[in-house]
Structure 1
Amino acid sequence: MADVLRFGVVGLSSDHVWHLLDALRRQDGVEVVAVAEPSPALRERAATEIPGVTGHESAGQLLDCGSLDAVLVCCDNAAKAVVVPAALARGIAVYQDKPLAATVAQASAIAKALAEHGGTLMCAWHTVFDPLYDEVGELVRGGLIGDVRFARGLAGHAGLTGLGVSGDFRAWLTDPERGGGGSFVDQAGYVLTAFADYVGPVRRISGFGGRIDPGLPARIEDNTAAIVEFESGALGSVDTRWGQIGPLPLRYAFHGGKGTVSCFYDRWEIVTEAARLDGWDPMPAPPGLHGFRRAVQPRSGYDDEARYFVEHLRSGEPMKRAVSVESALHVQSMIAAYYASVEQGTAQLVDPAP
């Protein structure tokens, strides 16, 4: 691996991309050398913010410019199914924003390309890099709270207008063909990734969706709820919102036969039969149980995930499953089952996990 890793960027319409770019450029031995974006205004912004960067109108032009080690892919979800296989076919490593694609068929094409060409692909559900995410996963999988019987996950933000989402980003976020849906495809994957990582594959989903913002297209939902059934027999619930007023009171909760794990914005809490948990502070618990708490500084950017990807390129060590194509493809299948359930009014089976 070269001393300096040369990155290209495909797609500048997502508001996330500028923060991801900043995080990449803060990594030692990384140089962002080229961008691909149809919009002249966005290419001009990149030229202003990244000295010496070369601008291209299309992904094909960028991928054929030569000497790229990796590419950050932040184009619309449907376009990823063209861009990512093309990069892998050229031996270029891929760091892509979530989700894998807009549909299962597109996501499967990406997985097929990785299997055919090999190489590196990280699908970054950003919350996988939140403080304590990996440690808590090990505790849950290790049986600290017993077999998980029920999982709960919430995701929401102030909405496209409330967040000041740019017109370029909104244009494809609210296009069912380019984005794949609304709030559920945008947000539920964070929860579903943690569910599959901590508890195991999901077998079936029953979904409900609503549109509160009258300014959204008819096929774009901004308020959702889903019930999931895991292959283990455990149950779970997911709800998402574009238009969350105030902070989320809870992010995740996992309820097992021996205890409960809860994740809040600024802390994790565990109530369990175990009498000791190294590195955790004690907190009150019901009789016969023990409580533990860890305060966390909420993730404020993307530096940890950028560093993880760069270090993986240099070390060649296997990626954790939560950012793998296998996990992302299973999440895409869960998202597809949700939309099918909303449309047909019945619970839908999820394609088996890879």
Structure 2
Amino acid sequence: MTYTSLLTICLMLLSSVVSFAQKAPLRVGVVGLTHTHVHGILSLKNRNDIQVVGIVEPNRDLAQRYAQQHGYSMSIVFNTMDEMITATKPEAVTAFGTIYEHLAVVQTCAPKGIHVMVEKPLAVSLDHARKMEALAKKHHIQLLTNYETTWYPTNHEAYELLKKGAVGALSQVVIRDGHRGPKKIGVNAEFLDWLTDPVQNGGGALIDFGCYGANLMTWLQDGKKPTSVTAVTQQFQPENNPKVDDEATILLTYDHAKATIQASWNWPIGRKDLEIYGQTGAIYADNKYDLRVRHAEGYDQFREEARRLEERKAPYDDPFALLAAVVRQEIKLKPFDLSSLENNMVVVEILEAARKSAKTHKTINLSN
């Protein structure tokens, strides 16, 4: 066998190994089961892009209950992150515990080079967020934040229409998110315990649903911070939410635009919708699939276009597909993308200012 032939065979073998490594499922650990959004990853079957290799949950009763529901073995359930990491060697973890615990997840995983995706919001405070950001950058890991609305095709279509000038220059945005409240919609006890806790969740409706509006507006503004944040919080259900707000209105001002974020645990019907107003029309993302565009005609007349959209194409239709693609370096998130660390640092800054504004009854100015 000639040297050239031997080299060719070696290169072919190396190419095969690399190709296999790229196609192998991303090894994912699940940290915490108390956030009921965890059902999204536990219910996944026959996926070739991710594989759940370990779960961290000290509450054995909860872990057993979900094991029976989703069919995983209790042999992959561990009491601590270190035990799970040592035994299963995940490439990435998804955090489904309290928001306060997000920092500890990054503190454990980042030094080991393990990528992290947390449920919204990124952190309970700007202090936690800055520590998480520093660790992610120091150890070169991806740190993503997952929002349900990131996967809404209507929001992405609205963004594209705005950027193309379909309704003229942006003037204001109204974002409404929420439901009847955690207890009224019947969340399980493990979730309710911390979702209505001012330390573990960072607040009530202001944090739980205010983060959606802050995330979307930061994206629409290409990462620009608001010049000011003003917030009013109320408590309509003291019997259900005695320690936290359940009603929040947040006003963000920009040089030439404003945003009104209505975050509530008092909506009679659950909602996540977005209204964008420009100089010549308006865009309504009524829900995940239904979009309307109104073009102004005269004083109060308009021409309306309505359409129902399809799911976005993979990996932009699913948080776990996106996580795998980002970790595998198949795609690179744009600056201030909805899932990006840059965007979500601004989100936490807005939420912290909103919390301060509501407490002091003053407008909080932010520096860009």
Bin of the TM-score, shorter chain as denominator length: 0.7 to 0.9
Paired AA for residue 171 in structure 2? R
Is residue 207 of structure 1 aligned with residue 231 of structure 2? yes
The 2-side partners of 1:15 and 1:247 are apart by 16
Who is 2:285 aligned against? Answer: 263
The 1-side partners of 2:363 and 2:300 are apart by 39
Match of 2:308 among 278, 295, 300: 295
The 2-side partners of 1:88 and 1:221 are apart by 33
Paired AA for residue 341 in structure 2? V
SS at match of 1:176: coil
Is residue 346 of structure 1 aligned with residue 367 of structure 2? no
Matches within 5 A, 1:1-354: 1=21, 3-23=24-44, 25-48=45-68, 49-51=71-73, 53-199=75-221, 200-230=224-254, 232-248=255-271, 251-265=273-287, 266-272=289-295, 290-296=303-309, 304-320=318-334, 321-350=337-366, 352=368
Structure 1 vs Structure 2: percent identity of aligned residues?
A: 21
The 2-side partners of 1:285 and 1:292 are apart by 17
SS at match of 1:309: helix
Displacement, 1:143? 2.4
After superposition, the CA RMSD in angstroms is 2.5
**Structure 1: 5+ residue runs without aligned partners?**
274-283
| C-alpha distance 303-162 of structure 1, shift in aligned 2 (>3 A) | farther
Residues 283 and 291 in structure 2, CA contact (< 8 A), matched pair in contact too: yes
- Give CA-to-partner distance per residue, 1:69-89, whole Å, 9 cap, x none: 111111111111111232122
| C-alpha distance 174-247 of structure 1, shift in aligned 2 (>3 A) | closer
SS at match of 2:249: strand
Identify the range of structure 1 (206-215 vs 303-312) with the bigger mean alpha-carbon deviation: 303-312
- Give CA-to-partner distance per residue, 1:300-348, whole Å, 9 cap, x none: xx96222222233334421241100111110011111111001101011
Displacement, 1:170? 0.9
The 2-side partners of 1:332 and 1:287 are apart by 38
Displacement, 1:271? 2.1
**Structure 2: 5+ residue runs without aligned partners?**
1-20
Paired AA for residue 250 in structure 2? A
Paired AA for residue 360 in structure 2? Q
Displacement, 1:138? 2.1
| C-alpha distance 153-317 of structure 1, shift in aligned 2 (>3 A) | same
Residues 127 and 190 in structure 1, CA contact (< 8 A), matched pair in contact too: yes
Aligned length: 337
Who is 1:281 aligned against? Answer: none
Max radius of gyration: which structure? 2
| C-alpha distance 252-201 of structure 1, shift in aligned 2 (>3 A) | same
Residues 151 and 317 in structure 2, CA contact (< 8 A), matched pair in contact too: no
| C-alpha distance 145-333 of structure 1, shift in aligned 2 (>3 A) | same
